[in-house]
Amino acid sequence: MKVVTNHIDVKTRAENDIVDITEEVQRAVGDSGVRAGIATIFVPGSTAALTTIEFEPGLKEDFPRMLDRVAPAEIEYEHEKRWQDGNGRSHVKAALVGPSLTVPFVDGGNLTLGTWQQIVLVELDTRARSRRIVIQIVGE
């Protein structure tokens, strides 16, 4: 068994920015020399998330709208009362979506994603951020 750790650096524009990182993850897996296994993709921090989505204009609008219905800007958050940083909803949204994904890969490093499925970083903080995403590849 082999374990390889890699990183992707991404700059986001602020809340609701969705960035397709599929190609970068595929490249990291391909460059690892591991032929079959799993890739765990993780974003450190508590105001960003990772998921899979069909990365197309409609869903790029629908997904943030759904999160806004779950954690709207106009309600009170205890986090904001304590820290006054304006991103209580960002923490709630990120916790719901989650900070990591595990994607199997086969046949010399090919991710097993569906035809219309991409890996995306979802920025949920209220400001632009620089994110360093960790990719840990495990397999043979």
Q: For each of the domains in the chain, give its residue range(s) and CATH number, in order of start.
A: 2-139 (2.60.120.460)
Would you state the pLDDT for residue 80?
A: 87
Q: Given this model, what pLDDT does residue 81 score?
A: 87
Low-confidence stretches of the chain (pLDDT < 50) are none
**Chain segment 111-134, per-residue pLDDT in tens:** 999 999 999 999 999 999 999 999
Q: Where are the beta strands (DSSP E) in the chain?
A: 2-11, 18-20, 37-42, 48-53, 100-106, 110-111, 118-123, 130-139
N residues, the chain? 140
Q: What angle do CA 73, 78, 83 make, to 5 degrees?
A: 90
Q: What is the pLDDT of residue 59?
A: 97
Beta bridge pairs of residue 92: none
Mind listing the pLDDT tens digit for each residue in 54-69? 999 999 999 999 999 9
**Bridge partners for 136 per DSSP:** 5, 40
Question: Given the structure tokens 């690892």, which residue do they identify?
Answer: 32
What angle (nearest 5°) sits at the alpha carbon of residue 82, between those of residues 78 and 87? 65
Residue carrying the six token digits 């609008």: 61
pLDDT of residue 52: 98
28 closest CA partner among 44, 41, 45, 10: 41
The tokens describing 16, both together, are: 């609701």
